[in-house]
Amino acid sequence: MGVAVPDTYVELADLAMARGVAPGKYVDGLGVTRMGVPLVDEDTVTLAARAARMALESAHCSPDDIGLLVVGTETAVDHSKPVASYVQGLLGLSTRCRIFETKHACYGGTAALQMALDWVRSGSAKGRKALIVCSDIARYGVGTPGEPTQGAGAVAMLVSDHPALVVLEAGKTGVYSKDVMDFWRPLYSKDALVDGHYSVECYLAALEGAYRAYQEAAGDAGGEGAYSDRFAALVYHVPYGKMSRKAHRHLRTLDGDAAPDASFDRLVGHSLVMPSQVGNIYTGSMYLALASLLSSAPEDLTGKRVGLFSYGSGSCAEFFSGVVQDGAQARVKALGLEARLARRRALSIPEYEDVMRAREHLDERPAADAAGSGFRYQGTRDHKRIYAT
């Protein structure tokens, strides 16, 4: 696994004050303390490439080992050329690699992951690995209710028949999809549009449908106690921390738990440590929450089952599960993600607003002459995006 977030962020308490809102509404009411805000040399490609490089390096995996690269994103940089092709170039992946992009709001990365699992299980992988990257920059209009639920980041995962972190359980998955208009981004807009409170209802309805479908697929419903106590942890899609709390309350109520909040800290709390400092990263949000769980849970999760709920507006959702492998927590801790989050620089609100304005015209920004390094977007020349390697 690899994770990339922007080097800069906005303190939600500062944003609340600038918008004339009580800081408690964003920090406690939404459960977010900071949101990642990318500067103008960062885009979906650079975040994806940085996360993918970390995944390859941490697994000591050569670019030639990758036979499939899929980038799930809803903030692509081109109508035709996939983010995945830029990532292939930046990382030097083999030409014998199948490469494309998937889109279904925040579910796009999970769609890619499930497809990669089938590719590995079918034998088509022939010993090679799939590289799945979820990369997005969440953007709502300045001053809208969605503004404090922005964020940016990427999570990359290697999928193979010898998983080092989590074994995703074959057949144990429940899907729920429904055509709804809860959140969308028209082709002419850089900002997402959302029917906020309705989107929460859609998320919860999808959770219920996917959870029921999972129980049917697993064929083990019934028995003593709450069904979700079969999981050592539950990782929900996190547009903002409070949504995970609402999700958990709903799921435990479905389980017949008369005190549905009582298990929240035990089953969900550790998955929110990092998302609460980064904000919504759309496709990668649930996977950042999984990284957070593996990095910060104090108990040994080896051999234990984790429930995963992915939701994409529009909508498609999936509840699936995995078993944590020996050494997984040490591997994720070794990525040093919490230290990386701590090293970021805070933007003042005027600086953040300047960045938001500048990002409006990023696609047409003339490429800078000075050569940079480290996977940075330099601008566009002859209608072609230029990246520093």
For residue 38, the tally of other CB atoms under 10 A from its CB is 24
Residue 197 lies near ligand HMG (rule: CB under 6 A): yes
Tell me the residue number closest to ligand HMG, measured at CB: 29
Based on the shown chain and the rule CB under 6 A, indicate whether residue 280 belongs to the binding site for ligand HMG: yes
Listed ranges 152-160, 196-204, 333-341, 346-354: which one lies at the site for ligand HMG (CB under 6 A): 196-204
Residue 246 annotated as binding site = yes
Residue 143 binds ligand HMG (CB under 6 A): no
By CB under 6 A, residue 179 contacts ligand HMG = no
Q: 140 labelled as ligand-binding?
A: yes
Residue 11: beta bridge partners? 34
- Residue 386: alpha-carbon gap to chain centroid: 25
Count the neighbouring beta carbons within 10 Å of the beta carbon of residue 330.
10
Catalytic residue among 42, 97, 101, 106: 106
Residue 286 CB, shortest distance to ligand HMG, in Å, is 10
Residues 100 and 145: beta-carbon distance below 8 Å? no
Shortest distance, position 237 Cβ to ligand HMG, whole Å: 6
Bridge-based pairing of strands 66-72 and 129-138 is parallel
CA atoms of 184 and 223, how far apart (whole Å): 40
Pick the piece of the chain touching ligand HMG (CB under 6 A) from 17-25, 40-48, 330-338, 348-356. 17-25
As a whole number of angstroms, the distance between CA 14 and CA 349 comes to 7
DSSP-assigned beta bridge partners for residue 310: 318
The label of the residue with tokens 């979906």 reads 44
Question: How many Cβ atoms sit within 10 Å of the Cβ of residue 336?
Answer: 13
183 lies in the binding site for ligand HMG (CB under 6 A):
yes
Cα separation, 53 vs 61, whole angstroms: 10
Provide the Cα torsion 277, 280, 286, 288; round to 10°: -40
Sketch the per residue contact string, 73 through 112, with ligand HMG: x for CB under 6 A, - otherwise.
Answer: -x------------------------------xx------
Check 237, 248, 316, 318 and give the catalytic one. 237
280 is in an annotated binding site: yes
How far apart, in Å, do the first and last CA atoms of the chain sit?
Answer: 21
Question: Under DSSP, is residue 73 helix (H, G, I), strand (E, B) or coil?
Answer: coil
User: Whole-angstrom Cα distance, residue 382 to residue 201?
Assistant: 45
**Shortest Cβ 209–ligand HMG spacing (Å):** 15
Q: If binding is defined by CB under 6 A, does position 146 make contact with ligand HMG? A: yes
- Which helix (H) or strand (E) segment is 214 a member of? helix 196-218
- Catalytic, 106? Answer yes
Q: Helix, strand or coil for residue 344? A: coil
Please tell me which residue in 74, 101, 147, 208 is annotated as part of the active site.
74
286 scored as a contact of ligand HMG (CB under 6 A): no
Q: Is 61 one of the catalytic residues?
A: no
Which of 22, 330, 346, 358 forms a contact with ligand HMG (CB under 6 A)?
A: 22
CA–CA gap between residue 2 and residue 171 (Å, rounded): 26
Determine the interface stretch with ligand HMG among 37-45, 142-150, 164-172, 361-369 (rule: CB under 6 A).
Answer: 142-150
Catalytic machinery residues: 74, 106, 237
- Binding site members for (3S)-3-hydroxy-3-methylglutaryl-CoA: 140, 246, 280
Binding residues for ligand HMG, rule: CB under 6 A, are 22, 24-25, 28-30, 74, 105-106, 145-146, 149, 182-183, 194, 196-197, 199-200, 203, 237, 239-240, 242-243, 280, 282, 311-313
Mark the binding-site residues, compressed into ranges: 140, 246, 280
